Each structure stands twice: as structure tokens, then as C-alpha cells.
Amino acid sequence: MSTLRSSLSRAVRGARRLVGHPDVRGWPPYSRLILMSDAPSWVLAYEMQEIGALANRLSITTADQQLWPFVKHQSVFYASHLSLLVGDQWQQPNRIGMAYMHGKPGTGYEEFDRTFDVLRRHHDRFDRVQATHSEMHRIILESGIAPGKVHLIPLGIDLAIFPRVTPAARAAARARFRIPAEARVVGSFQKDGVGWGDGLEPKRVKGPDVFLSVIEQLRGDVPGLFVLLSGPARGYVKAGLQRMGVPFAHDYIDDPRALAPFYHAIDAYVVASRQEGGPKAALETMSSGIALITTRVGQAMDLVRQSENGWIADVEDAAALAAHARAVLMNGAPPAVLDAARRTAEANTYDAHLPLWDRFFDGFVERRSA
């Protein structure tokens, strides 16, 4: 929440500095799409860049988010529904759209209950909602919002950014992270600590405690077990691995689009979350030709077919996650599963989702004249 508040405050300060910028009052109504990210230089900021590129292909003009405090009667799309908790920007005289990726009410997270309550009481103020998976699509409709406003559009993947691993790429990646060639490597590249500091306090919804339980169950019978981490705020997981004596490497990069070598270095990626909107790691893992082992969360529920293109377990079932991971680490993932996973990624590129976004933007923002 503090990140969202800071982001919007920066937008206000930035706009006030834009002396001499073209007068937004001259824009025709709903002729501009303003894409509001939740935080600079992190996953959803790049997701907004991808959506902006799709909008441009659909003859939609985007505008700098720094102009957000001054626009009226334009189309504003928020990268995260959690922005509903910051001020009253959803009451501005604009068409309002948002991505509602995760946050099931009644599951013990106050911010999820509050955001859903805002949607339930004021659903008439929202013109478009993107649900990234079928469970959230159903939950959003329970708010009473008109079904035509809600669009099921999964998170996408750029195959060029996440190419399939090759033996040469694998060797280079392991050398980069100083991972022994014979190691059996589990990957985890998400943010799962509270805040943007060391992350010693676990972010429960991301399941870092479950992830550590999986590693604890693997360390006794998987020789050469190694964990590769990326992402900010990983202090809780790192401390747990140190207590267990499990070797690991943590390499944080600012640009999540540069994660391909991380995937190429691992044998299996484990998602241990309790709730997710994607996660984006699901398609990234599948595109990279790496075994995906995930809890039954978010988009993964719609993507993963058990033992056909990945492995899936109930939320908090660390034993099942560990069993799937153990089989992959000890015996290797069947090539047919990895081939099917790659085909799943190919079916979920941003290009493949273009018709879905076309329908989403229709009637939300005006197109440029030919």
C-alpha cells in the first residue's frame, strides 16, 4: 500500500513540474488511455508497457501517467485493484478500468476485504475490469457489477524474452550464478517479503513459509540440492535456507524481463503461493522449458493440466509440492511435459491476447481516426 501511495504522489509532483506541456483540456473526451502502474521498475510496470504496445496496435493513443492528476473525461486503467485503497481517485470524472488479479475476500487479508467492498458498493463507477483467471472472474461478478464490464484476459508472455533452454544456455547460466554443474536446482524469483527492504517479515499470501517447508522435505533425499533466488525482499527465505544449511544464490535484477538466465539455470520452479493473479512465473517457466510445480492458485489453475504440462497441488500442501519436485529433481521432467508446457506458453502470448484487449477497450477509449 505504501508503494501505491508513493507512486501516485510522484505522479502529482511530476505533473506539477510539467510546465509548458500540451493542455490536457484540449483533448477530445475519452481520446487518451492513461496506464497507471503500481510501482516503478517492477513487474506490473512492464505489464503496463506491454498493454500500451497492444493499445497502440489497436489505434489507441496513450498518455503519460504523470498527467493523471489533471485529466478529466479520459480513460484511466490501473495495473492493480489495490489502488482502490489510495484516496478517492476512482471517483474522478474519468472512465475507470483496472486489473483485478488476486485478493479473494473472506480469506484473512484485510486489504482484500476492503477492496472488494469498494467494488461491491461502487461497481457502477467502474467501466472495465480485467480478471486474469477464471476464479477471480467469478468473484468479481459476485460484486453485482454488470457482466459486460468484466473481461477474462490472462497475463501474457513474450516468447522472445523467455526462450527455451538449451544445453549451452544452461551451462552458461550455471556458470554465471556459480552453481555446480551436477546440482539439482529449485528456482523462486518472486517478491515474498513485506516492503521493499530486506524482507525479513514474510508476505504470507506468497507462501514463503510453504516454500521453505518444501525445501526442508527435499534436502534430506535430493543430493546436490541448490536454490536459486531472485526478486526483492527475500530475507525471510534466505534466513530459512541458511538455517537448513541448503546452498543458495540470490541475484536481484531491476528488470524482470531479464530473468531468462535464471530459468535456464534451474531444474524446477516452485510456486508455493496462497493466492496469485498469475503468477507471471507460470508462463515464464513454461516458455523456458522448465518444470513448473505450483499450488492451485490464480492463472495457474487455468493453465496447468496435472502431469501433462506441469504439476499442481492444493494450497499449503507442501508435501505434495515436495513430492512433485522430488520426482523432477531425481528423474528429470519428461520431455513430453515440457513440450506441452511450451505449447501452453505459445497459446498465451501478448499477440494471442490482442483480440481480448480489442474487446476490452471497445467503448472504453476512442480509437485514432484512420
Within the chain, all domains assigned CATH 3.40.50.2000 are found at 167-346
**Peptide bond connecting 355 to the previous residue in cis, omega within 30 degrees of 0:** no
**Mean pLDDT, rounded, for 274-295:** 97
From the options 3.30.1050, 1.10.3470, 3.40.50, 1.20.1740, give the CATH code of 2-153+353-361: 3.40.50
List alpha helices for 17-151, DSSP H.
Answer: 43-57, 110-122, 134-141
- For 199, other C-beta atoms within 10 Å of its C-beta total 22
The string of pLDDT tens digits covering residues 18-33 is: 443 457 878 999 999 9
**Mean pLDDT, rounded, for 317-339:** 98
Task: Spell 33-56 as b/e; 16+ CB within 10 A means b.
Answer: bbbbbbeeebbbbbbbebbbebbe
Q: What pLDDT is stored for residue 163 in this prediction? A: 98
From the options 3.40.50.2000, 3.20.20.120, 3.40.50.620, 3.30.390.30, give the CATH code of 167-346: 3.40.50.2000
The string of pLDDT tens digits covering residues 92-109 is: 889 999 999 999 999 999
The phi and psi torsions of 207 (rounded to 5 degrees) equal 70, 35
Q: What pLDDT is stored for residue 17 in this prediction? A: 45
pLDDT band for position 16 (cuts 50, 70, 90) = very low
Which three cell numbers mark 28? 477530445
CA dihedral for 138, 194, 295, 336, sign (positive or negative): positive
Q: What pLDDT is stored for residue 15 in this prediction? A: 43
The string of pLDDT tens digits covering residues 179-193 is: 999 999 999 999 999
DSSP 250-315: E---S-GGG-HHHHHT-SEEEE--SS-S--HHHHHHHHHT-EEEEES-HHHHHH--BTTTBEEE-T
